[in-house]
A and B are shown apart, each in its own frame.
Chain A
Amino acid sequence: MPFVYLRTRIKTIMPLLFIFFMVLSFGIFALRKSFRYTYTLFILIASIALTSISSLFPQVLTPSHPHFLTFSAPDSLSIFFILIINFTALTAFLFAGGYLKAYFDKQTSLRWSVHLWAYIWLYFSMILVVILRDGFAFLVVWELMAVSSFLLVIFEADDRKVLKTGINYLIQMHLGLLFLLVAFLIAGEATGQTGFDGLKSYFGSHSNILVFSLFFVGFGIKAGFIPLHTWLPEAHPAAPSPVSGLMSGVMIKMGIYGILRVLFSIQSDLFVIGLIILGFSLFSGIMGVMMAIVQHDLKRLLAYHSIENIGIIGIGIGLGVLGMATGNNTLTLLGFSGGLLHVLNHSLFKSLLFFNAGSVYQATHTRNIDQLGGLAKKMPYTAAFFLIGSLAICGLPPFNGFISEFLIYLGLFKSFPESSLYFSILLLISLIGLTLIGGLAIFCFTKAFGIVFLGQARSNRVDEAHEVSNGMLVPSILASAAIMAIGLGSAWFVKPVMKITSELSGAALPEVFTGDLLRTLSRISLAGGVFIGLVVIIAVWRNYHLKKRIVTTGPTWGCGYTGGDEKQQYTATSWADNFSALANPILGTKKNTVHIGENVLFPGKRTFATHPRDLFKSKLIEKPIDAMLSVFKKIAFMQTGQIRHYILYAFLFMLLILVLTIFKIL
């Protein structure tokens, strides 16, 4: 009896405690500047502990009566996202502890507090986004998430560009909010229940495709599907690195969460919806990585890779929906699980990459890849962690990215034999897309890692670089450990994800299927283990072998030319050159070369610059805006500022109405 009493008490206490932490966070403003970080960390850890415990033991904590915050019954999808948010929020904040030290004296006391406060509120709002089901409550926390992340992005608002980017971000987020609001209202109007729970009955009796499209645009802006992505490659580089890691790692996944939530209420038109998602995802995936290749800003490159990874997640989800539409159980399970697991995986390796890109920025004060080089010697740990992140994001075994992509591949290959002609072609297109994305990612990350960390320094910015403090390495260690754990022990992670998928999509999960899959995954682990064992054995053999031989050092082979220097190395631009020669019709990278004249006696400097462009941004957003502005400018002649003209306009208008009424046109 006392236990039952305690249980019912805890159920009420847990949400109240969470609200208590939210209130407590305002204490940041009252504290001394040097205490604020520790205080925020304390609240963050407490909230993380609270939400993690409530998520992991939902059966204990489910309240018996609906709560006003509807903390009730966070289902498995919410729990999955809560755990992802918790992990990356913690590692990113730990990283911020070291990263923000450099800004401690530079930033005013108020900005310091606002930044920390915005961080913890971004965390709170994300947790609430995945818990709340009611439409309006959801939109409120969704808005809160946009505002708090906006405050985080403009941390260095002294830079006008950062402020402008931040405002641009805020506007685009509100555009997304508008779509969501309309979608919720349409569904709410028809069923009388605004929110995710009402969607099922709405979709049961109305056309699915329209409202879904509204939701898809609204959530897609957050997730960054091309062509809704234009805020993303601007905001990520502008934000401080821990924030970029958090935003790219988990915040954009809230868009994916929303899409999934809506998807599992869809009743009809599944095939078309699946096609829409798959199409946008393939496009985002391929274009995202293609645009990433030509960037020379390290963080912008990573931002475009977020778009690519959203594409991979979307491919998984799209295939899952198509599986649902055609009754292909295997494809449903593997597609959705691959997509969901990639949400987790991407949150790990992308935050890891952003942390280490941040360390590089802090050590060299530049994000321009062409000015870096040779950092592996100065920052060996940062280099190693960046390498782990790169390998994982390329989907290479034995890291975690491989597992999620493997699940999607497996779904594709297993569906080939039974599918019809057109469906086979669809699968083939997905397959080509997925392999292309994989290959392009390798092309991009050999560049990102190789040019930044290897070879010789390309400018004097590298000279004074040194390894970051141990505190800043701890988050990378945590993330890398998680990456390796998923890569080598995939079965433990795929099994719960598979259960979530089956629960939500309603696809049956046959014993045979799970058994087969788990056997496959454990064999992948085994093969991964063999690989690591072989590396160790060969490395030990190498050391033993070289001990008995003469090992000397010398200059790099210069083909007989000894005057070579760091300027002759490949740069980010030259690395992308042969690729952009192939892809330029789509990418439209601009090259500006100033040649030396032929008969000039004293030649001046020859310059060369490339400017990667975002065609979607210029064609789909900037061009219409320009056209609109030019129309407005033409209309502006009417705005004379003289009151008699305005009275004339009103008179003419009334006359028009009169005439129209007389002729019965109106």
Chain B
Amino acid sequence: MAGIPLILLAAVFFPGIIIRTKSIVSGRKGPGILQPMLDIRVLFGKGSVYSTTTGWVFKLAPVIGLATMLSALTVVPFANMPALIPFQADFVFFSYMLALGKFFMIIGALDTGSSFEGMGANREALYSMLVEPAFLILLGTFAMLTGYTSFSDMFMAFHVSGNPIITVFGLIGFYLLVQIAMIENSRMPIDDPKTHLELTMVHEVMILDYSGFDKALVHITTAIKFAVYGSLICSSLVPAEWHPGFQILLFFSVQVAFAVIVGIGESFRARNKMQKNAQFILTLTAVAMLAFLVVLIVTNKLII
């Protein structure tokens, strides 16, 4: 329950920390941590320009995008506190809710009739299709390991420490969650948000025609999405028996660390060649199967 305001709070700082990290690494002075939020405030102050080609779908898309993100939040737990609306296999709901948001962003881009935006939408559709199995396999392994099927129960029952094999599983899971978060947010190495050429963009080119209020919504959605994945990573790390104060402290440390990792990663990593992306994303499914294998060993189903 307490998770939602905390995640929203983390979302406020998240994009700023990434940008600040990147500026420090590259030796620039860089903007302040709150700059992305100030940008959003500026967007809220502006009017909107709509393409004459667009219709109601285009206008509806960012609204649905934010609504899906916020309703997906209702099933995300915070450390040992259950989610607002926890239920069995709620991560399926989480994953499909995000897919609904993506569906609308994709058709919103197609509504502009632009070849660029069609291209971005097409790529986004392909990548999000390919990343889906990895996430659900990972959650399936969590279910197999803990015997529970909801986010809240699974994370409560899961401890990284203790068994060394589980630590291996934890590391694989951590790697997967980070990579999935990067793909879902269209960051490196799939997509470079700072690229200036429309032909090489994925997410940025999809939202080219949004302005003012709508664009602000899109940015807010992205920021929250990052923080949600950060929160998932954190929940799988926090021991349930900790004092809530420490938990909150750890939550923010994990979020900051995650943002810094993203920033450092983006500073030193080049974007994949567009054709390599599909292969790269499918590798994650293979890694998820590796996690599955590890859990088979942990649960004594596979005896070696």
Residues of B within 8 A of A436 (CB): 129, 132-133
Confirm or deny: A102 has a beta carbon within 8 angstroms of a beta carbon on chain B.
Answer: no
Confirm or deny: A456 has a beta carbon within 8 angstroms of a beta carbon on chain B.
Answer: yes
Cross-interface CB contact of B114 among A394, A445, A558, A581, cutoff 8 Å: A558
Smallest Cβ-Cβ distance to A559: which chain B residue: B198
A575 pairs with B122, CB closer than 8 A: yes
The answer to whether A410 and B133 touch (CB under 8 A), given A442-B125, A531-B97, A556-B209, is no
The answer to whether A438 and B99 touch (CB under 8 A), given A454-B107, A549-B212, is yes
A:402-450 near B, CB below 8 Å: 402, 406, 409-410, 412-414, 416-417, 420-421, 424, 427-428, 431-432, 435-436, 438-440, 442-443, 445-447, 449-450
Smallest Cβ-Cβ distance to A569: which chain B residue: B113
The answer to whether A550 and B47 touch (CB under 8 A), given A454-B107, A570-B110, is yes
Given the complex of chains A and B, what is the CA–CA distance between A51 and B110 in angstroms? 45
B137 pairs with A421, CB closer than 8 A: no
Confirm or deny: A397 has a beta carbon within 8 angstroms of a beta carbon on chain B.
Answer: yes
Residues of A within 8 A of B198 (CB): 559
B93 pairs with A454, CB closer than 8 A: no
B56 pairs with A376, CB closer than 8 A: yes
B:117-162 near A, CB below 8 Å: 117-119, 121-123, 125-126, 128-130, 132-133, 136-137, 139-140, 143-144, 146-147, 149
How far does the Cβ of B54 sit from chain A's closest Cβ, in whole Å?
Answer: 8
Given the complex of chains A and B, what is the CA–CA distance between A396 and B59 in angstroms? 20
The answer to whether A549 and B99 touch (CB under 8 A), given A530-B85, A542-B63, A578-B123, is no
How far does the Cβ of A524 sit from chain B's closest Cβ, in whole Å?
Answer: 6
The answer to whether A446 and B106 touch (CB under 8 A), given A391-B100, A410-B149, is yes
Confirm or deny: B267 has a beta carbon within 8 angstroms of a beta carbon on chain A.
Answer: no
How far does the Cβ of B68 sit from chain A's closest Cβ, in whole Å?
Answer: 7
Residues of B within 8 A of A554 (CB): 49-52
Confirm or deny: B41 has a beta carbon within 8 angstroms of a beta carbon on chain A.
Answer: no
B289 pairs with A568, CB closer than 8 A: no
Given the complex of chains A and B, what is the CA–CA distance between A421 and B298 in angstroms? 12
Confirm or deny: B64 has a beta carbon within 8 angstroms of a beta carbon on chain A.
Answer: yes
Confirm or deny: A557 has a beta carbon within 8 angstroms of a beta carbon on chain B.
Answer: yes
B110 pairs with A538, CB closer than 8 A: no
Confirm or deny: A188 has a beta carbon within 8 angstroms of a beta carbon on chain B.
Answer: no
Confirm or deny: B195 has a beta carbon within 8 angstroms of a beta carbon on chain A.
Answer: no
Chain-A contact segment, one of B6-14, B32-40, B69-77, B252-260: B69-77
B47 pairs with A549, CB closer than 8 A: yes
B48 pairs with A551, CB closer than 8 A: yes
Given the complex of chains A and B, what is the CA–CA distance between A564 and B75 in angstroms? 44
A396 pairs with B96, CB closer than 8 A: yes
Confirm or deny: A545 has a beta carbon within 8 angstroms of a beta carbon on chain B.
Answer: yes
A428 pairs with B289, CB closer than 8 A: yes
Given the complex of chains A and B, what is the CA–CA distance between A420 and B102 in angstroms? 36
Smallest Cβ-Cβ distance to A579: which chain B residue: B126
Residues of A within 8 A of B103 (CB): 391, 394, 396, 442, 445-446
Task: Return the CB mask of A571-599 against B: 1 if under 8 Å, else 0.
Answer: 00011001101100000000000000000
B126 pairs with A578, CB closer than 8 A: yes
Number of A residues near B (Cβ < 8 Å) is 84
Given the complex of chains A and B, what is the CA–CA distance between A413 and B136 in angstroms? 10
B93 pairs with A546, CB closer than 8 A: no
A538 pairs with B217, CB closer than 8 A: yes
Given the complex of chains A and B, what is the CA–CA distance between A416 and B70 in angstroms? 29
Residues of A within 8 A of B244 (CB): none
Given the complex of chains A and B, what is the CA–CA distance between A394 and B125 in angstroms? 13
Residues of B within 8 A of A566 (CB): 113
B56 pairs with A456, CB closer than 8 A: no
Given the complex of chains A and B, what is the CA–CA distance between A416 and B141 in angstroms? 8
How far does the Cβ of A145 sit from chain B's closest Cβ, in whole Å?
Answer: 36
Residues of B within 8 A of A380 (CB): 55-56
Given the complex of chains A and B, what is the CA–CA distance between A396 and B96 in angstroms? 6
How far does the Cβ of B184 sit from chain A's closest Cβ, in whole Å?
Answer: 13
Smallest Cβ-Cβ distance to B208: which chain A residue: A557
Residues of A within 8 A of B212 (CB): 546, 549
How far does the Cβ of B88 sit from chain A's closest Cβ, in whole Å?
Answer: 5
Confirm or deny: A552 has a beta carbon within 8 angstroms of a beta carbon on chain B.
Answer: yes
A421 pairs with B123, CB closer than 8 A: no
Chain-B contact segment, one of A210-218, A515-523, A616-624, A639-647: A515-523
Given the complex of chains A and B, what is the CA–CA distance between A106 and B17 in angstroms? 69
Confirm or deny: B115 has a beta carbon within 8 angstroms of a beta carbon on chain A.
Answer: yes
Residues of A within 8 A of B46 (CB): 549
B213 pairs with A553, CB closer than 8 A: no
Task: Return the CB mask of B200-224 against A: 1 if under 8 Å, else 0.
Answer: 0000000011001110010000000
Smallest Cβ-Cβ distance to B126: which chain A residue: A578
A520 pairs with B129, CB closer than 8 A: no
Interface centre among A377, A383, A424, A427 (most CB of B within 10 A): A424
B74 pairs with A432, CB closer than 8 A: no
Confirm or deny: A604 has a beta carbon within 8 angstroms of a beta carbon on chain B.
Answer: no
Given the complex of chains A and B, what is the CA–CA distance between A574 and B48 in angstroms? 31
B111 pairs with A454, CB closer than 8 A: yes
The answer to whether A428 and B292 touch (CB under 8 A), given A380-B56, A414-B88, A524-B87, is yes
B96 pairs with A402, CB closer than 8 A: yes
B92 pairs with A406, CB closer than 8 A: yes
The answer to whether A455 and B53 touch (CB under 8 A), given A416-B144, A519-B87, is yes
Given the complex of chains A and B, what is the CA–CA distance between A414 and B89 in angstroms? 8
Confirm or deny: B236 has a beta carbon within 8 angstroms of a beta carbon on chain A.
Answer: no
How far does the Cβ of A255 sit from chain B's closest Cβ, in whole Å?
Answer: 28
Confirm or deny: A323 has a beta carbon within 8 angstroms of a beta carbon on chain B.
Answer: no
A553 pairs with B133, CB closer than 8 A: no
B:277-296 near A, CB below 8 Å: 278, 285, 289, 292, 296
A439 pairs with B128, CB closer than 8 A: yes
Confirm or deny: A654 has a beta carbon within 8 angstroms of a beta carbon on chain B.
Answer: no
Confirm or deny: B116 has a beta carbon within 8 angstroms of a beta carbon on chain A.
Answer: yes
Residues of A within 8 A of B51 (CB): 553-557
The answer to whether A578 and B99 touch (CB under 8 A), given A432-B285, A524-B87, is no
Given the complex of chains A and B, what is the CA–CA distance between A558 and B53 in angstroms? 12
Given the complex of chains A and B, what is the CA–CA distance between A409 and B67 in angstroms? 24
Confirm or deny: B112 has a beta carbon within 8 angstroms of a beta carbon on chain A.
Answer: yes
How far does the Cβ of B115 sit from chain A's closest Cβ, in whole Å?
Answer: 4
How far does the Cβ of B108 sit from chain A's closest Cβ, in whole Å?
Answer: 9
A546 pairs with B114, CB closer than 8 A: no
Given the complex of chains A and B, what is the CA–CA distance between A435 and B93 in angstroms? 13
Given the complex of chains A and B, what is the CA–CA distance between A566 and B115 in angstroms? 9
Confirm or deny: A508 has a beta carbon within 8 angstroms of a beta carbon on chain B.
Answer: no
Cross-interface CB contact of B147 among A417, A534, A582, cutoff 8 Å: A417
A431 pairs with B136, CB closer than 8 A: yes
A:367-409 near B, CB below 8 Å: 373-374, 376-377, 380, 383, 387, 391, 394-397, 402, 406, 409
B48 pairs with A439, CB closer than 8 A: no
How far does the Cβ of B285 sit from chain A's closest Cβ, in whole Å?
Answer: 7
Confirm or deny: A481 has a beta carbon within 8 angstroms of a beta carbon on chain B.
Answer: no
Confirm or deny: A276 has a beta carbon within 8 angstroms of a beta carbon on chain B.
Answer: no
Residues of A within 8 A of B48 (CB): 546, 549, 551-552
A527 pairs with B88, CB closer than 8 A: no
B143 pairs with A413, CB closer than 8 A: yes
Q: What 16 additional pairs, Cβ within 8 angstroms, besides A439-B133, A557-B112? A: A383-B57, A391-B103, A406-B92, A413-B89, A414-B143, A417-B146, A420-B301, A432-B137, A439-B99, A446-B121, A520-B88, A531-B71, A546-B212, A556-B113, A569-B118, A582-B278
Q: Return 23 A-B CB contacts under 8 Å, by A number.
A: A376-B57, A376-B111, A402-B93, A402-B96, A410-B88, A424-B144, A428-B292, A439-B128, A439-B129, A443-B125, A443-B126, A445-B103, A446-B107, A449-B107, A454-B110, A530-B71, A534-B71, A538-B66, A545-B44, A553-B49, A555-B51, A557-B114, A578-B126
Residues of B participating in the A interface, judged by any CB pair closer than 8 Å: 44, 46-57, 59-60, 63-64, 66-68, 70-71, 74-75, 85-90, 92-93, 96-97, 99-100, 102-103, 106-107, 110-119, 121-123, 125-126, 128-130, 132-133, 136-137, 139-140, 143-144, 146-147, 149, 198, 208-209, 212-214, 217, 275, 278, 285, 289, 292, 296, 299, 301-302
Q: Ordered nearest first, which 5 A-B pairs have the shortest CB separation?
A: A570-B118, A439-B129, A450-B110, A455-B113, A550-B47
